Structure 1
Amino acid sequence: MHVTSIDRYDIEPGTLTEWTLLPTAKTIKSDIPPSYNQRFHLDTARAHGFGRSVWMAGSLDLPGTLDRSAVRRTFEIFIRRHDALWTGFDVRPTRIERLIVPPDAVALRESDPVHFDDPVSLRAHLCTKFTVECDPLTFPAFLFATVERPTSSTVIAAFDHTIVDGLSLVIALRELRQIYELITSTPAKDDAQIGRALGDPGSFMAYCEAEAGDPPAEDGDPRIRAWSRFYEHCGGTAPRFPLDLGVEPGRPARQASDVRRLLDGPGAALLEEQCLRAGGTMFTGVLSAIGTALRREGGPLHLPLQFPLHTRHDHRWKDSIGWLTATAPIVVPVAAHGSFESTLTGTHASFRSALTLKGLSMEQVRRGVGEGYRRSRTDLFMVSYIDYRKVTCPDELRAMNAHHISNVTVCDDAQFWVSRTEDGVSLRSRYPDTATAHSAIARFLDQLASVFTEVIRNDIMTPAPAYS
């Protein structure tokens, strides 16, 4: 799975067709409220008229000539399977209501084909189109696109973040390919046969309803106390990237992005070997390296950040399309006078402690900490890690030429997505497009690469002098 942003998406040009939902029935109101993540996202979109389309897209390649009738049917079956795609929101100044289109009313509108001769103009068109169509304050907030060529085609599914998370994109790409292959196989399958072959995806609306029914955390809940201590460590707000990015909190600037491979396959294997030998994991090793690199640039000895966790623990939502994540707090304790191994030991202990906070929704956390948290910025300092070798069959993702594509919007903090595949470890960075931020992030990424090299060579697994 290639994790990238739209300005860096490597797509071969061809003939583009867009497929959008055309409701044939009126929407109806639902009593099911938005999830915490959805409400947070919609509140942000309502407050900031600019840069509000935080869409995510997945793409895959299909060999041969595209069967346009089959791909239309593929999209329609996929939409009917996932209730997150039937719903939108009526967002008013004082309320947010969920709207639903009955699944049997799903129909698609096909645009006139447009040929593109170069990837730059195609990327620019897709960015503009996805930003307009995947607006969280409109319905539908998703669309599909196909790019046809003589010997292959690319299928792209783009969604606003209210509809999907990162794992949803993997599920979507896998299902779209399976449905298309089932339709075009001999003998062709009817919709019921396809549904049975794929299995029940579960209901994201049921997930939202269950989350809304969560009771407030009990007084004295140790998990709330842990969150309160974390926010206190961060000054009563979310964690922030410790280097100056040249923006005022709450005043987002246009986003810049960086996508790079940090380690090749053998290098990633060596890093993991060192981390496991020291009693950690690949993820806690990456966090330790980030803390060490930032310390070398003047960052703190105790680095607070948040990391996402999926909430698909109930088997009902294992294959659901939706936003099923929470975040957990962690403090990376950089060993000033010790070794990287010492930093990793402390980080891994902090990570294990963070995992004990599972079971609390972010709504319960916000209620529980009360005045101990205030929102001071649009974004927060976050590091995400996905090992795509464990999410699905890596050969399947490679065969599909699968991509996770994100929009370029606005931000007032730095966020990082670390992904591991058979090809190694890659990093997508999101940060403000200011001269100060470009300089700070470039220095940090250079230091991070150096730390990885030193760990692999075992140069900093022994005590080293402190950095001032």
Structure 2
Amino acid sequence: MTPCTLARQSLRGGDVTRWDLGAACLEHWDGSPLDDRPPSHDQLGRLHEDPDGSNPWSAWIGLSVLLPDATIDSVERTLTEWFRQHESLRSHLTLIDEQPRRRTLAPEHVGFTPFALGEHDPEALRELLSHEFHIRCRPMRQPACALFTVEVEHGHVLHAAFDHITFDGLSAYAAVGHLAGLHTAVVNEVHRPHTSPSHVDLAATEIAVCADIDTGDERLRPWQDFLRGGGIPGAPAESGIDPEGHYDHDLVRHDICSGDVAATLALQYSAEGIPTGMLWTAILMQALGDDVHVLMSTHGRPSSLWSDSVGWFAGVAPLSLSMPPGCDTSDWVLAGVRAWREVAPSAALPLGLVHRLLDVPISPQVVLSIIDGSRIAGHEWWQPLGSSIQLGDVPTSSQTHIWLTIVPEGVTLATRLPLAPGARDWLDAVADRFARLVESAAATPFALQQEVPA
């Protein structure tokens, strides 16, 4: 389940239904008292990016999943229960005189209304979803998402997209299995309502905690080192990507290795206490070059209790690896583990706060996200239910975002690549080196010669 664009997603046609919150629900929402819990730093930045929903780009995150044996009634009950469970989906943020305002809908007032849109073939469906996701997935929309189902032979396929203000990558991956499981429980009359830990509460905690952070905080030191050149380091020079450039992007996929090769490699290193995520990160950074600087995406959830919570939890940490030529993969992995131990706490500091405290421009360049499917509840549903993750468009920039997805079927890179001259050739070469390094490392027994930091 590698991220892709809606334009490249395989779709199935059928009778389409749009799902909207009912008029009574929206009246309750508008009449709700002001919620004094503030937005997170990232959410506030997103509000200012697109205050009126008129930006020509819409940074939505989408998912598709088959709901077997679904009916209009079972879909309605599933979406209602899901919105009731996740406060972030029913907490509306706006800017009034440049100040954020929040109103949160009580769970008991959630109710969906289906609107039949008729038969659509795959291309008509693609056009519909592209248009509706672009319009509806905006930070101040109420709600900031778009929900559609398509009736197919074995049920209904749910197509959903969400503005980043209320959704992150892990929210999408976790939601696929969660929605499928929730629907199964609803159909079999065994669902028991509950509420997941709320991103709205965590955002309020973030703001309260960050208010007491100053430039003496130890977690700022990795950021100070990372930004010593006056900003976030750019992509390797070989990429041809100018850090000051404004490029259109393409989402490029590379298959790296089979599931068997990935399992062999992970087993060798996990036996020595090397975390799987850091293993793959270090080898990818080795493929990128001898002196590599990235923002490492983190899930941002306080504990496993928040694993199925929906919201913009994800943060980033500054990670640099500079190795002498000729170092082998085990050297890179051990160096990566040591470096990560030092910088990981810095992910707790939002980029907006880092910018304010250090007064250095913060423009992300190379961002790495690792998705290890085996660690996400419900991943067993992904392939049987034809699930997928889609990404909306982004503004022109020099940012390169790389998603490394590890699933039983294999390991894949999806790269949102700035279209600088020569960048695609560079990326193809990186992916080829990465694949060869992985194959070689899997075929080479690894014996720990140095102590791994606890």
For residues 115 and 241 of structure 2, the distance between their equivalents in structure 1, rounded to whole angstroms, comes to 40
Partner of 2:145: 142
Change (3 A) 1:434 1:15: farther
SS in 2 for 1:401: coil
SS in 2 for 1:395: helix
SS in 2 for 1:382: strand
1:111-130 mapped onto 2 (5 Å cutoff) = 111-118=115-122, 120-130=123-133
* Unmatched runs of 5 consecutive residues or more in structure 1: 296-300, 462-468
- Identify which of 407, 412, 423 aligns with 2:409: 423
Change (3 A) 1:174 1:393: closer
Partner of 1:31: 36
The one-character-per-residue Cα deviations of 1:236-255 (angstroms, maximum 9, x if unpaired) are 22232224666665664332
Partner of 1:194: 192
1:167 CA displacement: 2.2
The one-character-per-residue Cα deviations of 1:16-51 (angstroms, maximum 9, x if unpaired) are 211122413325433222111212223333599544
Matched letter for residue 194 of structure 1? R
Matched, 1:12 2:17: no
Partner of 2:84: 80
For residues 165 and 244 of structure 1, the distance between their equivalents in structure 2, rounded to whole angstroms, comes to 30
Change (3 A) 1:395 1:231: same
Matched letter for residue 384 of structure 1? S
Matched, 1:224 2:211: no
Partner of 2:451: none
Change (3 A) 1:178 1:394: closer
Identical counterparts, % of pairs: 22
The one-character-per-residue Cα deviations of 1:251-288 (angstroms, maximum 9, x if unpaired) are 64332101232111111123324544787443333333
Partner of 1:465: none
Matched letter for residue 24 of structure 1? E
SS in 1 for 2:292: strand
SS in 2 for 1:12: coil
* Unmatched runs of 5 consecutive residues or more in structure 2: 448-454
- Identify which of 302, 319, 322 aligns with 1:330: 319
For residues 380 and 49 of structure 1, the distance between their equivalents in structure 2, rounded to whole angstroms, comes to 25
For residues 421 and 97 of structure 2, the distance between their equivalents in structure 1, rounded to whole angstroms, comes to 36
Asked if 2 retains the 8 angstrom alpha-carbon contact of 1:204 and 1:321, the reply is yes
Kindly report the root-mean-square deviation, in angstroms, between the aligned alpha carbons of the 2 structures: 2.9
Asked if 2 retains the 8 angstrom alpha-carbon contact of 1:21 and 1:143, the reply is no
1:146 CA displacement: 0.7
1:352-367 mapped onto 2 (5 Å cutoff) = 352-357=341-346, 359-362=348-351, 364-367=353-356
Matched letter for residue 276 of structure 2? M
SS in 2 for 1:223: helix
- Identify which of 285, 293, 308 aligns with 1:291: 285
For residues 205 and 396 of structure 1, the distance between their equivalents in structure 2, rounded to whole angstroms, comes to 28
1:155-174 mapped onto 2 (5 Å cutoff) = 155-174=158-177
Change (3 A) 1:205 1:283: closer
1:141 CA displacement: 1.2
The one-character-per-residue Cα deviations of 1:181-209 (angstroms, maximum 9, x if unpaired) are 23322xx46xxx621xxx33122221111
Change (3 A) 1:115 1:265: same
The one-character-per-residue Cα deviations of 1:91-148 (angstroms, maximum 9, x if unpaired) are 3673332233444443334232332333x44333312211111112432211211111
Partner of 2:426: 440
SS in 1 for 2:47: helix
SS in 1 for 2:227: helix
For residues 296 and 347 of structure 2, the distance between their equivalents in structure 1, rounded to whole angstroms, comes to 13
Change (3 A) 1:374 1:362: closer
Matched letter for residue 417 of structure 1? W
For residues 315 and 456 of structure 1, the distance between their equivalents in structure 2, rounded to whole angstroms, comes to 30
Change (3 A) 1:93 1:194: same
Partner of 1:466: none
For residues 31 and 256 of structure 1, the distance between their equivalents in structure 2, rounded to whole angstroms, comes to 40
1:174-253 mapped onto 2 (5 Å cutoff) = 174-185=177-188, 188=189, 194-195=192-193, 199-214=194-209, 215-218=211-214, 220-232=216-228, 235-243=229-237, 249=243, 252-253=246-247
Change (3 A) 1:274 1:244: same
For residues 145 and 47 of structure 1, the distance between their equivalents in structure 2, rounded to whole angstroms, comes to 24
Provide the TM-score with structure 1 as the length reference.
Answer: 0.84
For residues 174 and 78 of structure 1, the distance between their equivalents in structure 2, rounded to whole angstroms, comes to 12
Partner of 1:406: 391
Matched letter for residue 80 of structure 2? E
